């Protein structure tokens, strides 16, 4: 009884504490919204980054800076629910402890380094090799998720990891002709190892965030942490830009190097800022609402969508192997989504039975433990 009353009083303090519960009416709309942001952000940021480098943009610090400089957009989901819509009783940054602040700043610097490594890699490596190397983050993610958050390996997630990784390998083998002319061996290895580093850091970021989010009770708090992280990442990128000439270098690049003109240059920069922010918001929300492995699987699946985007927007070749690779990607991702759907349905069924058996505590408890194990096995 004491546990029940304390749990009830804890839930009464705020109405966001059960947002990770699959039975919450806001859960599915929030999940779909975050995946939509991840989809749009990942696809558009990839195409816009390619557009920047295709038209003689060359600054890796600019490419790094745009990935986090959209942090002011995070003020919208933080402020509006309380001050405009009155849909929550929780004030922004409530229970945002110094420990969470320090963690957010530290992870933000880690994101900043990851962004820099990604920028170095994408500036040197061909598309095929970059996709292959980045897809390896899913394998790292699975291993680190098992170590850090005790993720259970099941046929569902292992099958998806294997299919998505193989689809990226096929894509790389098909696109060996994508290697840019004049790429030296030294630059190739710099691009290769920096991309490996970016994949490893991102694979570490996802389970670390899942572990941190276990102490976070609402989506608004996730956005608050994301705001602090992005500010820290932007500060790191801004420091690098200052050493490399700062915003004066951006102005020079816009006027003298970018071959589409100054207006298109700044439009490209702003569009990159917005699209990358959508991507990171979607990633954070997916990890909070599901798990780090699901976030990694969604990101890897979207790498294949970037290939389709390249075909549609830039007229990239789309041969038979690329088609098979895309089908394998879709197969792996859809099988994982279906498995998650079945598992969620079983969990809702168990919660329904548990609520109905509250008057028989000992019987209900035995039933719940047994069936939860069955769900985990599935």
pLDDT above 70 covers a percentage of the chain that reads 78
Q: pLDDT: is 309 or 67 the higher one?
A: 67
pLDDT above 90 covers a percentage of the chain that reads 21
Q: pLDDT: is 299 or 146 the higher one?
A: 146
In this prediction, residue 318 carries a pLDDT of 67
In this prediction, residue 20 carries a pLDDT of 60
pLDDT band at 128 (very low <50, low <70, confident <90, very high): low
* Phi, psi for 305 (deg, rounded to 5): -65, -30
What's the mean pLDDT when you consider all of the chain? 78
pLDDT at residue 365 is higher than 60: no
pLDDT at residue 4 is higher than 90: no
3-state SS track over the chain: CHHHHHHHHHHHCCCCCCCCCCCCCCHHHHHHHHHHHHHHHHHHHHHHHHHHHHCCCCCHHHHHHCCCCCHHHHHHHHHHHHHCCCCCCCCCCCCCCHHHHHHHHHHHHHHHHHHHHHHHHHHHCCHHHHHHHHHHHHHHHHHHHHHHCCCCCCHHHHHHHHHHHHHHHHHHHHCHHHCCCCCCHHHHHHHHHHHHHHHHHHHHHHHHHHHHHCCCCCHHHHHHHHHHHHHHHHHHHHHHHHHCCHHHHHHHHHHHHCCCCHHHHHHHHHHHHHHHHHHHHHHHHHHHHCCHHHHHHHHHHHHHHHHHHHHHHHCCCCCHHHHHHHHHHHHHHHHHHHHHHHHHHHHHHHHHHHHHCCCCHHHHHHHHHHHHHHHHHC
pLDDT band at 370 (very low <50, low <70, confident <90, very high): very low
User: Looking at residues 178-201, what average pLDDT do you find?
Assistant: 78
pLDDT at residue 12 is higher than 90: no
In this prediction, residue 188 carries a pLDDT of 78
pLDDT band at 369 (very low <50, low <70, confident <90, very high): very low
Q: pLDDT: is 141 or 126 the higher one?
A: 141
**Prediction pTM value:** 0.77
CA separation for the pair 144, 159 (Å, rounded): 17
CA separation for the pair 232, 61 (Å, rounded): 15
């Amino acid at each position: 009884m004491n546990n029940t009353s304390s749990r009830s009083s804890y839930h009464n303090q705020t109405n966001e504490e059960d947002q990770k519960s699959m039975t919450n009416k806001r859960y599915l709309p929030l999940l779909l919204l975050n995946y939509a942001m991840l989809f749009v952000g990942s696809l558009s940021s990839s195409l816009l980054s390619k557009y920047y480098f295709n038209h003689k943009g060359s600054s890796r610090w600019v490419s790094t800076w745009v990935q986090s400089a959209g942090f002011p957009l995070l003020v919208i989901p933080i402020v509006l629910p309380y001050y405009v819509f009155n849909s929550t009783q929780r004030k922004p940054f409530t229970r945002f402890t110094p420990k969470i602040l320090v963690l957010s700043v530290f992870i933000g610097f880690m994101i900043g380094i990851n962004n820099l490594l990604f920028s170095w890699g994408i500036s040197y490596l061909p598309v095929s090799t970059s996709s292959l190397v980045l897809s390896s983050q899913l394998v790292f993610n699975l291993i680190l998720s098992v170590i850090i958050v005790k993720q259970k390996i099941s046929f569902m997630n292992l099958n998806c990891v294997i299919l998505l990784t193989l689809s990226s390998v096929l894509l790389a083998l098909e696109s060996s002709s994508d290697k840019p002319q004049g790429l030296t061996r030294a630059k190739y290895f710099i691009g290769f190892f920096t991309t490996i580093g970016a994949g490893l850091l991102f694979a570490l970021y996802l389970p670390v965030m899942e572990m941190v989010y276990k102490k976070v009770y609402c989506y608004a708090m996730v956005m608050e942490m994301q705001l602090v992280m992005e500010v820290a990442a932007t500060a790191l990128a801004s420091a690098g830009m200052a050493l490399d000439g700062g915003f004066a270098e951006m102005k020079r690049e816009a006027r003298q190097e970018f071959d589409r003109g100054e207006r298109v240059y700044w439009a490209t920069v702003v569009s990159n800022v917005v699209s990358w922010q959508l991507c990171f918001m979607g990633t954070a929300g997916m990890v909070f609402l599901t798990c780090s492995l699901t976030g990694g699987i969604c990101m890897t699946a979207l790498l294949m969508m970037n290939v389709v985007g390249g075909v549609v927007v830039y007229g990239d070749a789309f041969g038979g192997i690329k088609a098979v690779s895309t089908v394998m990607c879709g197969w792996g991702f859809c099988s994982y989504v279906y498995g998650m759907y079945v598992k969620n349905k079983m969990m809702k069924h168990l919660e329904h039975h548990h609520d109905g058996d509250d008057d028989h505590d000992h019987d209900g408890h035995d039933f719940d433990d047994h069936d939860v194990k069955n769900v985990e096995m599935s």
